[in-house]
Amino acid sequence: MDHPQNLSASDRRWFDLIQQCRTSGKSDAQWMQEHEIKSPTFYYHVKQLRKKACDIPENSFTRQRNDIQEVVPLFMKEVPAVSSHEPEQLSSTDNTSAVRLNIQGITVEIANNATQEVIKNTIAALRFLC
């Protein structure tokens, strides 16, 4: 592996170790555990080598995970529109959940009295994040 110019022997050793980790297909944490390297030490050397203008790649495991886009079907039931002439009287204190979503350990709830705008914005945010 070609080393950047003017690196000490220790820097070259860490450069090689970091390259091995980042191209292993494993997360940094998995690789460090297998090689008995403490994360503060590892990331210290990543930072120092970047300061010396070394090209340190992102972790391939992270890139692979970010490239995967999970598609989850969302089934929506058609609900008849409420006539604008007869606004439905909802109690402003009715905070019971009409919708509850659990996504990767995060719970999102939409209350019964949520406005159409709140619901649209929540769905738009979920589409963006998921």
Domain boundaries, the chain: 9-67, 97-129
Residues 46-63 pLDDT 10s? 888 887 766 666 766 655
Separation of alpha carbons 18 and 24, rounded Å: 10
Residue 23, token pair as written in the block: 């191209």
pLDDT single digits (tens) 103-122: 777 778 888 888 888 888 88
What residue ranges in the chain does DSSP mark as E strands?
97-103, 106-111
Distance CA 130, CA 83 (A): 33
For residue 28, how far is the Cα from the chain centroid? 16
Q: Which two tokens stand for residue 111?
A: 């209350």
Indicate the pLDDT class of residue 92, thresholds 50, 70 and 90. Answer: low
CB-CB contact of 30 with 62 (8 Å):
no
Tell which residue, 38, 42, 11, 61, has the closest CA to residue 1: 11
Pick from 130, 27, 113, 24: nearest CA to 70? 130
pLDDT tens digits, one per residue of 68-77 = 555 666 666 6
